[in-house]
Every structure is written in structure tokens, then in C-alpha cells.
């Protein structure tokens, strides 16, 4: 989607102050749906803008990762408020969040792949040349991310997007209480996670030819789990019951699914990349190692997903 064509960007504004307050710190059960949106979004936006500025001159792996996380949180928040934001506005904003997250994630992906290749090298897989090539790919990804993610444009887009959202919400749900709305959105996210968990559990027992489908289903469970976790973190101050244990459990499941996803994504990354200075047999050796590790981690992830499905 060409956001510049569909959504003209204004000159930068400073609607949101740059700080890193804990999200949800100013929420109360008496808050309205409209007012909670800015309370929740502002700290995430501030964090994203600050990290984008820092990464224009730095190449810290964790910085790229946290920038991607910030955009994922904004996608979850827009999904939560989509009944009042409208389908088109939600789709436009989340598409751009997804694009920016992908740009930030390129460096992170090569960091993960590089670490896995180093582990393979320690396991006597003779792939030193590929490890060096992965470092070069990582450097190229940093350059691409820094070129494409311009902090002033990110700040302008985010401020404009949230100003539009806030204006829409104030005109449609300014007096509606937050609690029932938040609880309903969390319930929907929980149902989506359980549904995807059941689908993944069924696909685990399918034939080997459908392994790709099972991998995709596990990835869907991971995304659904992240959305639920972010919503619980956002809305915990205003919804009934304590959810610290649920959040902790979700983090545990995500960690297991994340380990599998790191292997699967790295395998795809290496298969799709070209390594002119690396012999094909070395690349193949690394892919065989990754395939073996992927199977082991898939089995572990599938066991956790079965627990979700039940």
C-alpha cells in the first residue's frame, strides 16, 4: 500500500511528548474508551520515535527488535479499537505499522540467523564462510533499515495517525466506559488464540506433506498469543481479575514458539538469499542442520500449543 498516495502526511507535529511511561499507568475504570486510547498509545509512540532516532546512527540489535515490538503493539491497539476507528482507517494504519516493523526486523532476522549459524559451527558443521556471509547480510540490512526508516517521517506518520484516531474516537465513543469494551476485546482475542491453537493441534497429526501448513498454524498461534498478551498488558488496570499469571503463561508459550519461529524464519532467510562467495554444499549443510533443529523445536512448541487448545 502506498501510504503517501492514500494518506498525505502533514508537517511534523508534537502531539505526544517523548517519554517512556509504563502503558496504562493513567487508566481507571471511570475512563472513557476514547480517553484511554491516547493514554495507551502515547508511550508506545514515544518509544518508537525515540528508537527510530537512535537507530539512524546506531545498529544495536535490541534496538531494532524493540522498534519492531512497538509497531506490533500499535497494531494490537488499533485492532482493539477498530470497532470505533472503522475498518478502512484501521487497515491503513496497521498496514504501515506492518511495513515499518518489517523494515526494522530485517536486521534482527540476520542477527538470529547469524547466532544459529554460529551454534551450527560449534556443532562441527563446517560453515565458517556462511557465518561470515551472514554478518555481511546483517550489515546490508542495517544500511537498508537506516535508509528506509527516517525518524522524522516515522514521527510525522505516528502523530498524524493517532491524531486522526483520537478525533474519530472522541466523536463516536467519548462518553462510553472502558471496562466492558476492554473485557470484550480481550475475550475475542482469547477465543482467537484458542481457535488457532486447536487448528494447530489438528494439523500436527496430519500427514508429513502438510508440515508447511502446521508451521503456518504454529506461527498463527504465536501472533494470536502476542496480541492477547499486549491487550492484557494494556487493559489490565481496568478489567476484572488479576492477569499476571496469564501474561506469564503467554510469555512462556511465546518463548517456546519464538524458538521454533527463529529456526523456521532463518531457514527461509538462508534459502532465499544468495551467497556468491559460499559453496552451495556449505549452504546445504547449514540448511540440513537447521532442518534437524527445526523438527526438535517444532515438537516442543506443538506440545505447548496442545495445552492452549485444551
pTM for this model (two decimals): 0.84
SS3 177: strand
φ and ψ of 167, to 5 deg: -60, -45
C-alpha cell at 170: 472522541
- What pLDDT is stored for residue 6 in this prediction? 35
- What pLDDT is stored for residue 12 in this prediction? 35
- What pLDDT is stored for residue 229 in this prediction? 95
Rounded CA separation 197/99 (Å): 26
- What pLDDT is stored for residue 216 in this prediction? 92
- What pLDDT is stored for residue 14 in this prediction? 39
The CATH code for residues 22-309 is 1.40.20.10
DSSP of 245-302: HHHHHHHHHHHHHHHHHHHHHHHHHHHHS--TTS-HHHHHHHHHHHHHHHHHHHHHHH
- What pLDDT is stored for residue 119 in this prediction? 87
Give me the residues of the chain with pLDDT under 70, please: 1-26, 124-126, 206-209
Domain residue limits, the chain: 22-309
φ and ψ of 278, to 5 deg: -115, 125
- 301 exposure class (CB count in 10 Å sphere: 0-12, 13-18, 19+): buried
Alpha helices in 149-210 (DSSP H): 151-172, 178-204
Q: How far is CA 60 from CA 57, 90, 128, 155, 239, in A?
A: 10, 31, 23, 20, 36
Rounded CA separation 47/70 (Å): 7
Rounded CA separation 232/309 (Å): 19
- What pLDDT is stored for residue 193 in this prediction? 94
Amino acid at each position: 500500500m502506498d501510504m503517501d498516495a492514500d494518506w498525505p502526511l502533514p508537517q511534523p507535529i508534537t502531539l505526544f511528548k517523548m517519554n517512556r511511561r509504563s502503558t496504562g499507568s493513567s487508566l481507571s475504570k471511570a475512563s472513557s474508551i476514547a480517553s484511554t486510547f491516547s493514554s495507551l498509545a502515547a508511550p508506545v509512540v514515544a518509544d518508537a520515535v525515540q528508537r527510530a532516532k537512535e537507530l539512524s546512527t546506531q545498529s544495536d540489535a535490541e534496538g531494532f527488535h524493540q522498534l519492531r515490538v512497538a509497531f506490533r503493539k500499535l497494531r494490537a491497539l488499533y485492532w482493539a479499537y477498530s470497532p470505533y476507528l472503522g475498518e478502512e482507517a484501521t487497515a491503513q494504519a496497521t498496514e504501515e505499522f506492518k511495513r515499518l516493523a518489517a523494515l526494522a526486523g530485517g536486521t534482527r532476522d540476520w542477527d538470529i540467523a547469524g547466532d544459529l549459524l554460529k551454534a551450527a559451527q560449534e556443532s562441527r558443521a563446517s560453515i565458517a564462510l556462511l557465518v561470515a556471509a551472514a554478518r555481511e547480510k546483517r550489515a546490508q540490512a542495517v544500511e537498508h533499515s537506516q535508509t528506509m526508516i527516517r525518524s522524522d517521517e516515522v514521527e510525522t506518520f505516528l502523530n498524524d495517525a493517532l491524531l486522526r484516531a483520537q478525533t474519530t474516537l472522541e466523536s463516536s465513543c467519548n462518553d462510553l466506559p472502558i471496562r466492558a469494551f476492554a473485557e470484550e476485546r480481550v475475550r475475542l482475542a482469547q477465543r482467537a488464540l484458542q481457535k488457532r491453537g486447536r487448528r494447530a493441534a489438528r494439523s500436527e497429526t496430519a500427514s508429513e506433506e502438510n508440515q508447511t501448513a502446521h508451521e503456518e498454524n504454529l506461527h498463527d498461534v504465536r501472533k494470536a498469543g502476542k496480541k492477547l498478551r499486549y491487550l492484557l498488558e494494556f487493559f489490565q488496570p481496568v478489567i476484572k481479575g488479576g492477569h499476571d499469571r496469564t501474561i506469564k503463561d503467554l510469555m512462556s508459550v511465546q518463548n517456546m514458539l519464538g524458538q521454533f519461529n527463529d529456526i523456521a524464519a532463518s531457514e527461509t532467510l538462508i534459502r532465499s538469499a544468495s551467497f556468491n562467495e559460499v559453496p552451495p554444499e556449505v549452504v546445504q549443510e547449514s540448511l540440513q542442520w537447521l532442518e534437524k533443529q527445526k523438527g526438535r523445536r517444532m515438537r516442543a512448541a506443538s506440545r505447548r500449543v496442545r495445552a492452549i487448545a485444551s
